[in-house]
A and B are shown apart, each in its own frame.
Chain A
Amino acid sequence: QKEVEQNSGPLSVPEGAIASLNCTYSDRGSQSFFWYRQYSGKSPELIMFIYSNGDKEDGRFTAQLNKASQYVSLLIRDSQPSDSATYLCAVSGSNAGNNRKLIWGLGTSLAVNP
């Protein structure tokens, strides 16, 4: 069974700090990695995706991928109270006919305190 693991949290950081969210995955063949943000009672929205080893930056968000160690992380700089949400990590399957289907972590709850 392919798995994606995240700490459930809650992760609590002060406003303006860097929030670091981590995710590990079991399928070495996974090619695509996604971070979603889900506010309470709402649907998930895609905030970052990364396909290659290294860092990818978009505004205050940085996704980091290390395929050798099978982890992907999300850094949120200058955290704001509006960043308080659950962050879901999703990883593509490696089977050729099934690589569209994402495997989801259970999410990490982030609370940014004013």
Chain B
Amino acid sequence: DGGITQSPKYLFRKEGQNVTLSCEQNLNHDAMYWYRQDPGQGLRLIYYSQIVNDFQKGDIAEGYSVSREKKESFPLTVTSAQKNPTAFYLCASSRQGNGYTFGSGTRLTVV
């Protein structure tokens, strides 16, 4: 079955550490997105990519980085510059004009 897979489900980061969240899709979707969701809050766009080897900053890109070397993969790195990284991270993909399909999310906690 086609879908979008995020890993790990839970991730713990120490102060000053970079961590990478994985997102893989086999839906043949061109566009992929990373969102952050804080408790009781809406979705905030971090980065998005509409084609391979191209991506754009969203509303809260500071302290994050991405790459899009393959159509199927869009990993997100949370760098040490991100001062408040504890949140629920959601990856999504879409085809032109259609809604998004979301992964199951990664819950990141700073320890």
Q: Spell out A's residues near B (CB within 8 Å).
A: 31-32, 34, 36, 42-46, 49, 88, 90, 92, 99-102, 104-107
Contact = CB atoms under 8 A, between A and B. Distances in A.
Interface in B1-51: 31, 33, 41-43, 45, 48, 50
Contacts, number: 47
Given A92-B97, A104-B42, A42 B31 contact: no
B43 A100 contact: no
25 contacts: A31-B97, A32-B97, A32-B98, A32-B99, A34-B99, A36-B99, A43-B90, A43-B102, A43-B104, A44-B43, A44-B90, A44-B102, A46-B99, A46-B101, A49-B98, A88-B43, A92-B97, A99-B96, A100-B31, A101-B45, A104-B43, A105-B42, A106-B41, A106-B42, A107-B42
Interface residues of B, number: 20
B105 interface: yes
Interface string B81-107: 000000000100010111111111100
Contacts of B94: 100
B31, B50, B94, B99 — most chain A CB neighbours (10 Å): B99
Nearest to B41: A106
B42 A100 contact: no
Contacts of A49: 98-99
Contact of A100 (B97, B101, B105): B97
A99 B97 contact: yes
Contacts of B90: 43-44
Given A100-B31, A101-B48, A46 B100 contact: yes
